[in-house]
Structure 1
Amino acid sequence: MEFDVHEFATRLRLLMDEKNDTVYSLGDSVYLSPGTISKLLNEKLDNPRRRTIESIAIHYQVNPVWLMGLDVERNIDLDRFVKVAILNDARNKRDIEGYEYVRESLHIDFCFHVKDDSMVNARILTNDLIYVRRQSDVESGEIAVVAIDGEVLLKRIYKTNGLFVLKSDNLSNQDERVFTKKEIRAIEILGKVIMFRSMAR
């Protein structure tokens, strides 16, 4: 889909003016840095991520395609989106940092900010926002949020030869934890990572 960097910047500035937003207030609301907002306004970012556009559009309740510069209806049907909590602690549904609007069809149950660099080689960095579907099991090779001994971790899970292996995707810190069938009870899978949003933009 065509992206008009000039029209996007013009429409974004219009929306910010209507809401008296600054690069700081908008950045706080959609979890983007003020520098990223400035680049968008000054037409210095000609290929923003889809999630960046969608988050800004939902914040202002406008059609993301309209925001991209196309000649379509400005308004958005929020019925297609659901409000999802951003949790400080993935184990505690009441420990809420904020909220995200996500497409209902994605079946996202909660979000939270990554606390470490264990998934850096999967392009998931510290403070990135991950979107999680609650489920008690995942397929081998998938990334999951797990709780072990009171600690919440982001790990890729492998199931092989009767063993349950939790691995980091970080070549400089290849943390690997191996559990036998008897030890698996010590692990609680909190959910599967469906997608993430980089905070670098």
Structure 2
Amino acid sequence: MEIGSYLKELRLKNNLTTKQVELKTGISNSYISLIERNKRKPSAGILNKLAKAYQVKPEDLLYLMGYLPPIKAKDDFKQIPIYNIISTGKPSFISENIEGYSPIPPGLETLPMKDLFAIRVKDKSMIGKRIEEGDIVIIRRQSDVSNGTIAIISLNNEITIKEVVKQNKYIILQSTNLDHPPILVKKTDNFNIVGKVEWVMHKF
């Protein structure tokens, strides 16, 4: 889920039309529609106004959009670790290299805490899916994913983010950046799926 989809959920939860939000905030209903369709990135000022209209904490929206830095100390049970590894590393990275903590994004609160963690992206292989270097992705730990899922994978002790494409008996790790060609997983490869990408927090 992206921030626009979440903002739309908040609006509907408050039983508001885009026109009513315009009257409350001064933000045009057409611009609100563009934000909700992820066609525009809301500024910090707009997020503050929307937070007031939707009765949520402004800092929650600001963090999800990348306007606030990761929390440096784990001060409540609703935070998950952010790991600063993606391009290279060992599968044991999950227990080390913590750079901070992230609140659990909306919609994931019901998942077990032990199944969630975050990674700061260190490569540009998925820019076609609007996942860019410096973004934070929230991962749900699982050892398998369905065809076409964007996942964190370990291939020969290197950690990266790819779309997992399953064709017949083959697995192809697909990028959306032409500078990163597809990778066919061979039987001799040390390949593991670490988890599924559930949320993307963009860096600005």
Q: Quick one: which of 100, 103, 108 aligns to 1:101?
A: 103
Q: Which runs of 5+ in 1 are unaligned?
A: 8-35, 61-78
- Alpha-carbon deviation of 1:86? 0.5
Alignment RMSD: 3.5
Aligned to 1:137, what secondary structure does the other structure show?
Answer: coil
Q: Which runs of 5+ in 2 are unaligned?
A: 1-10, 12-20, 28-40, 64-75, 87-92
Q: Quick one: which of 154, 169, 187 aligns to 2:176?
A: 169
- Alpha-carbon deviation of 1:57? 3.2
Contact 2:129–2:176 (Cα < 8 Å) also in 1: yes
From the superposition, tell whether residues 156 and 57 of structure 1 become closer, same or farther in structure 2 (CA, over 3 Å). closer
Aligned residue-pair number: 144
1:154 aligns with 2:161: yes
The Cα offsets for residues 86-127 of structure 1, whole Å up to 9 and x where unpaired, read as: 112363323211011114125561011111110011011111
Aligned to 1:105, what secondary structure does the other structure show?
Answer: coil
| 1:10 paired residue number | none
| 1:84 paired residue number | 80
| 1:196 paired residue number | 200
The CA distance in 1 between the partners of 2:148 and 2:80, in whole Å, is 26
Contact 2:85–2:121 (Cα < 8 Å) also in 1: no
Contact 2:139–2:198 (Cα < 8 Å) also in 1: yes
Task: Please give the residue correspondences for 1:4-83 in structure 2 after superposition, counting only pairs within 5 Å.
Answer: 4-5=24-25, 39-41=43-45, 56-57=59-60, 82-83=78-79
The CA distance in 2 between the partners of 1:141 and 1:133, in whole Å, is 16
| 1:131 paired residue number | 138
- Alpha-carbon deviation of 1:45? 9.0
Higher Rg of the two aligned structures:
1
Structure 1 vs Structure 2: percent identity of aligned residues? 28
The CA distance in 2 between the partners of 1:192 and 1:131, in whole Å, is 8
The one-letter amino acid of 2:173's match is L
Moved over 6 A (4+): 44-48
Question: TM-score if structure 1 supplies the norm length?
Answer: 0.59
The one-letter amino acid of 1:99's match is Y
- Alpha-carbon deviation of 1:128? 0.7
